[in-house]
Amino acid sequence: MENYRVRSAGLSVPAGKGRRRVRATLVALLAGSLLFTAACSGSKSPSWQGGSNNAGTAESPSPQPTLSTVAVTSPAAAATGIEAWSDVKYTSDDPENTTVKVTDSQGAEVKGTVDKDEKVWHPAESMDWGSKYTVTVSTPPADGKGNETTSDFTVMKKPANLVRVTSFLGDKQVVGVGMPLIIKFGRSVPEKYRAEVERKMTVTSSPAQEGTWGWISPTEVHFRPKTYWQANTKIDYKVQLKGVKMGDGWYGKSDLTVDMKIGRSLIMTVDNKTKKMTVKKDGAVIKTLPVSLGKASTPSSSGTMVVIEKKEHTVFDTTDTDPTGGYKTNIDFAQRITWSGQFIHAAPWSEGQQGKRNVSHGCVNVSEAMGKWLFGQTMMGDVITVSGTEEKLKNGNGWTDWNVSYDTFKKTSAIS
């Protein structure tokens, strides 16, 4: 019997000289097997070439791009009773490219600013009472990413407790370089709420000048620059207090804006030692005139004041407050400088004493002629400084904003 050494595909080949034929037969059989496999597997590559082992199945889908995640966290969706100055808070895993938009029921965009670090949208204006608003937070498509979400809320109804806000000055008014900007409230504003009130009041001047708000009382706040206003300064100030909290369930009633101007510079300086007033206009002396100040029993106040009001003709009547020693006198060219009743005015009865001795009840007396001349030169907000008398000006007795240093005045601000 012959010894068979090789077996393949059911064939037996004798060892020895027939081995070459066996190898050729095996190659042919293998080639046929490969062609058969390719024909059965369609377009799929064999598994050892990276193809699927599951012949005839669909290809796996490509991975989907990951969307940026955005969401509105405050106000809550469909929330009602939201305050008119409420912030919008949101989340985003791409804050630098996130857009926040708030629109009213008509689709108009509400002005606001976005703090990308804190992920907060701050309104730049009060929203309307009882109105519905929609928030849209989105990221733009980039590298296959992008997403958008919306949420809505409704502002509280108009409250019953509203605080009236008024400006002492009006549009197109022209005033002196010492004029403070004065805002008054119909109700006391508790200290806790004053900082937010100040933040909603902005002053813009041209040329720009440093300044600050300061609380004169719980119902009155003033703005003054660091030094006197520059002559011919244009000033715009905006008070956005509608809907702002003012304590105990009270809210600001309305907004207001004022567009005004500072006139030429006019400064009056009175020296008790010389009994003279020096008048400077735009830095140059235009007149020096004699005066009579308050006698020792009724001294004039030393300090820096401004002209509060002007009356060409008026009557001084002190009989109500002093029935025994009071008087009633016709006065010409009166300019109030304190609330306690000190004026610059014409006093023809003291002309012989002016420049020599003090005989008034605290006023700055000038002659009839000089009273008329000075009255024609001044305007509300012009500065007068009196020095060398027996009594110092009490802060609050008039517009005494300039009677203290800027640093001292600044301390009365709620945010400085």
Q: Which residue, chain included where needed, has tokens 């000289």? A: 17
**Could you tell me if residue 398 is left (phi over 0), alpha (psi between -120 and 50 degrees) or otherwise beta?**
left
Mean pLDDT over all residues of the chain?
Answer: 88
DSSP assignment of 36-88 equals: HHHHHSTTPPPGGGT--SSTTPPPPPPPPPPPPPEEEEESPTTEEEE-TT--E
Handedness of CA 52, 57, 62, 68 (dihedral sign): negative
Cis peptide before 14 (omega within 30 of 0): no
42 has pLDDT over 50: no
Q: 162-263: what fold?
A: Immunoglobulin-like (2.60.40)
Architecture (CATH level 2) of domain 70-155 = Sandwich (2.60)
Over residues 28-47, the mean pLDDT reads: 41
Handedness of CA 222, 170, 239, 161 (dihedral sign): positive
Label residue 321 by pLDDT band (50, 70, 90): confident
Q: Where are the beta strands (DSSP E) in 207-327?
A: 211-217, 220-225, 234-240, 251-252, 255-262, 266-271, 276-281, 284-290, 301-306, 309-317
pLDDT at residue 322 in the model = 73
Name the burial class of residue 128, with classes exposed (0-12), middle (13-18) and buried (19+) by CB atoms within 10 angstroms of its CB. Answer: middle
pLDDT at residue 192 in the model = 97
180 has pLDDT over 60: yes
Q: Is 178 helix (H, G, I), strand (E, B) or coil?
A: coil
Cis peptide before 323 (omega within 30 of 0): no
* Catalytic hit among 40, 122, 313, 345: 345
> Is CATH 2.40.440.10 what the domain over 266-399 is classified as, yes or no?
yes
Token readout for 129 is: 């009472």
CB 187 within 8 A of CB 194: no
Handedness of CA 121, 126, 127, 129 (dihedral sign): positive
Label residue 327 by pLDDT band (50, 70, 90): confident
Q: Which part of the chain has CATH 2.60.40.3780?
A: 70-155
pTM over 0.95: no
388 has pLDDT over 60: yes
CB 153 within 8 A of CB 82: yes
Q: Which residue, chain included where needed, has tokens 């203290």? A: 404
Over residues 373-384, the mean pLDDT reads: 98
CB 401 within 8 A of CB 180: yes
Over residues 190-214, the mean pLDDT reads: 98
Give φ, ψ of 112 to 5 degrees: -170, 175
Max CA pair span of the chain = 166
**Known catalytic residue: 40?**
no
Label residue 69 by pLDDT band (50, 70, 90): confident
Token readout for 191 is: 């200290």
CA angle (24 as vertex; 21, 12 as ends), nearest 5: 55
Per DSSP, 245 falls in state B
CA distances from 276 to 336, 358, 379, 385 (A): 19, 11, 20, 12
153 has pLDDT over 50: yes
Which residues, including other chains, have CB under 8 Å from residue 375's CB and lie 6 or more apart?
A: 310, 312, 333, 335
CB 139 within 8 A of CB 68: yes
One-letter amino acid of 26: L
Over residues 47-51, the mean pLDDT reads: 42
Cβ neighbours around 201 below 10 Å, total = 19
385 has pLDDT over 70: yes
124 has pLDDT over 80: yes
Q: Which residue, chain included where needed, has tokens 């735009």? A: 282
Q: Which part of the chain has CATH 2.40.440.10?
A: 266-399
pLDDT at residue 64 in the model = 53
Token readout for 65 is: 């791009």
Q: Which part of the chain has CATH 2.60.40.3710?
A: 162-263
Token readout for 27 is: 């190659």
